[in-house]
Structures are given as structure tokens and as C-alpha cells.
Amino acid sequence: MSFKILCANWRSITIFISALLFTACADAPKEITSSQNASISNSASSPSTASSAPATVPMRPSGGSSDVKWTPPSRWEAKPASGMRLATYIIPAAKGDSDNGECSVLTNIGGGVQANVDRWIGQFEQPDGGSSASKAKQKQETINGIKVTTVDLTGTFSGGGMAMGQPATKKPGYRLLGAIVEGSSGEVFFKLTGPVKTIAAAQAEFQAMLKSIKK
């Protein structure tokens, strides 16, 4: 084999090896900095908010203070007790009404029975400008050995809904069914309010709940 042929073959081999080295360098993966690695790790490990299940809310199937117990209607949606509220029940709106009804059960309000009845009456205005006190139907009775004072009133409701010092929104066409139960440890206040048709549909249920009170 001549020297020229050997040189030619050597050049070919050199060119082939150089091409292989260039290809290997081009295909080498890029380095990821520590900050990039942390960002990728955080993105992969962060839980998706869409997949997080909402916390369940405990419900009280029946009500009760220290010495007064009652059975709420099964149709009413119970909410958790909070502070002075022994219970809150949401009553589905009747057909044609835009608002649900609400029955709050409270204790430790103070002031006595008649003062609180008068306060509830004062939360209503009459469309004709007349006296709500003269329109209110008050009654006293004894249920299962417990004294109960009830009040029934319709008008424009402006009580409740007080938030951060803002005046409550006036709601015409509302009705109140209230009851103050005189337990041995203090009064328990049942206050059902909502649109007239919704409260009319819940009236028998409210009365049945009152009939269920006991010590």
C-alpha cells in the first residue's frame, strides 16, 4: 500500500471521528440550575386546588340547650351552632318567593320575655304606616310543662342582617313567627322569618317543633 493511500485513509478516519464527536456534543442534555430545579419540584409537588375536597360541615340533627330540647322538622336544613345561636335552620323558599326562610334558636340574650317580643315587633314596619304592635298576635301557653310566649307578625322586616355597622336591608312582605321558651336555665328564643308564602308553608312545622319541646 502506497504512502499516499495511507494518508488518504488517515484523513478519512480523522474526519469520521470528528463528525462523531460533534454529534455527541450537540445531543448532550442541558444543565438545570438549582433555582430551576426547585421551581420544577415545587410545581410538581403543589396540590391542585380543583382536586381538593371541601371540608364537611357538621350538622346537628336535633336541637337542645342545657335543659330544653326540641325536634326540628326534617325538611329544614340545619346549620352549625355558634355563640349564642344554639341552632340555625334554613327553610326552602316557597314557589314564587326569592328568599329562603330562616329559623334561629338563641339563648343568653337577656332583657326578659316581653322586652324581646317588643324588640322583634320593632323590627317590622307596616305598609300603611300603622303600628306593628297593634298588628302583632301574641299568645301565652304551656307546652309540656314549659311556659311559651309566641308572636305572629307580617310587614316590612328590617331586623337582622346587621354587618359591620351597616343598616339592615328592608324586606317587604315578610312574616315573623317567634316563640320564647322559659327554661329553668333561662329563655330559649325561636325566631322564624322569611317571605309570607314561605313562612305560611312552614307554619305547621314550626308549631310541631314547639310541641316537641321538653326538659
- Nearest CA to 90 out of 167, 207, 11, 192 is that of 192
Instruction: From the options 3.40.1000, 3.10.450, 1.10.3470, 3.30.450, give the CATH code of 63-211.
Output: 3.40.1000
Query: Which grid coordinates belong to 158?
Result: 328590617
pLDDT over 70 for what percent of the chain? 66
Q: What integer is the mean pLDDT of 59-86?
A: 80
Is the pLDDT confidence value at 135 over 80?
yes
Residue 13's H or E segment, with its range, is helix 3-26
Going from N- to C-terminal start, the domains of the chain cover: 3-45, 63-211
Report the chain's mean pLDDT, rounded to a whole number: 77
Is the pLDDT confidence value at 23 over 90?
no
**Selected residue with higher pLDDT from 58 and 8:** 8
* pLDDT reported for residue 100: 97
| Per-range mean pLDDT, top range of 17-31, 55-69, 70-84, 152-166 | 70-84
Is the pLDDT confidence value at 24 over 70?
no
* pLDDT reported for residue 117: 97
Phi, psi angles (nearest 5°) of residue 176: -115, 130
Is the pLDDT confidence value at 41 over 60?
no
pLDDT band at 140 (very low <50, low <70, confident <90, very high): very high
- Please calculate the CA angle 153-206-185 and round it to the nearest 5 degrees: 95
Which of 24-33, 131-140, 155-164, 187-196 is predicted with the least confidence, judged by mean pLDDT? 24-33
Query: Which grid coordinates belong to 106?
Result: 338563641
Q: What integer is the mean pLDDT of 121-145?
A: 97
Q: What integer is the mean pLDDT of 9-35?
A: 43
Q: What integer is the mean pLDDT of 146-171?
A: 80
Which of 29-38, 118-127, 140-149 is predicted with the least confidence, judged by mean pLDDT? 29-38
Query: Which grid coordinates belong to 76?
Result: 329544614
* pLDDT reported for residue 96: 95
* pLDDT reported for residue 81: 85
The pTM score is 0.69
Distance between alpha carbon 75 and the CA centroid of its chain, in Å? 17
53-68 confidence digits (pLDDT tens)? 333 333 334 565 558 9
Is the pLDDT confidence value at 8 over 60?
no
What lies within 8 Å, CB to CB, of 77 at 6+ separation is 89, 90, 91, 92
